[in-house]
Structure 1
């Protein structure tokens, strides 16, 4: 059923539930852990400045007792999703960084991070440009009232690392050493690599202007809901190179096929503050 027809006949909650059931490979049940499918394209390479020596941080940071089981379970889930892997027994990594666990914003739930700050000064940053919000808002044409934002779930983790780069991204935990198989937050080049790749994938999926696109959260603006819903289609031949080889073409896979956020298509958010102020 077309998205615009769904919008007219059902509530946002029921549409979301129907989409979850129709595309389980994109929206798996909470209790099912599947490997995170990567973006198509060559793996990411971390380039270091000439003469850089390996960095090793042997200290394993203390994790609060009430978080330890959750953090351990989270690491195992990341292994199952093929985001990280255990360092094989007997292998002595040249690079080693510290895992840091902090509370998620507004909650007492743990967020697992790695401190790559000792590495960042020695990484050659690709410097992919990203416009500031004021520039984005200035490009909204008159008469635009409907705004759509796409958010790829675990976007950074959808970018594969090549093997030498993966070995650089090794970190220590109370349960042993792991290394990233994917791009990771905290690395200075992570955002540049993700934004460039996602821009390349998304650029072919939108009809001609008027539109508004950003990198980390691509968005579009249209003058009506019907235009908004018809804009996001996987039926166009231009999208073929960006679809998953094994996925349904309706599964919104131009980035990687993983977990499109539909809610912004199903609701009418208010105009941005800057646009209302200009009226």
Structure 2
């Protein structure tokens, strides 16, 4: 949610748009979205921000509770998530590097304690990155 222009992203109900009509030398205009300064726009904006933050907290929780990979498909799913989030933090790619060789289809999938520790550290880094982004 954009804090600078967030108010203008809140649509006004069709029946309320006529109440915002104003006249200029160039014609009559009405707001289609809530401008700053309207009595209810601040509350509506705060509700939307609260919903967005709650959704982000659920994403962080989902990352922290990501199950240990049981097969190559599970690991690829997790690594795909890691790769998507590396644009937000360059610190995510390096901890995940030890898991790259496991993704080779030429090798059999074996999960060791070392890989489990790397997996846990990557989850922790992902959760911290997502939590700090909001």
Band of TM-score, shorter chain: 0.3 to 0.5
Task: State the TM-score, normalized to the length of structure 1.
Answer: 0.22
Task: State the TM-score, normalized to the length of structure 2.
Answer: 0.43
Tell me which protein shows more strand as a share of its residues: 1
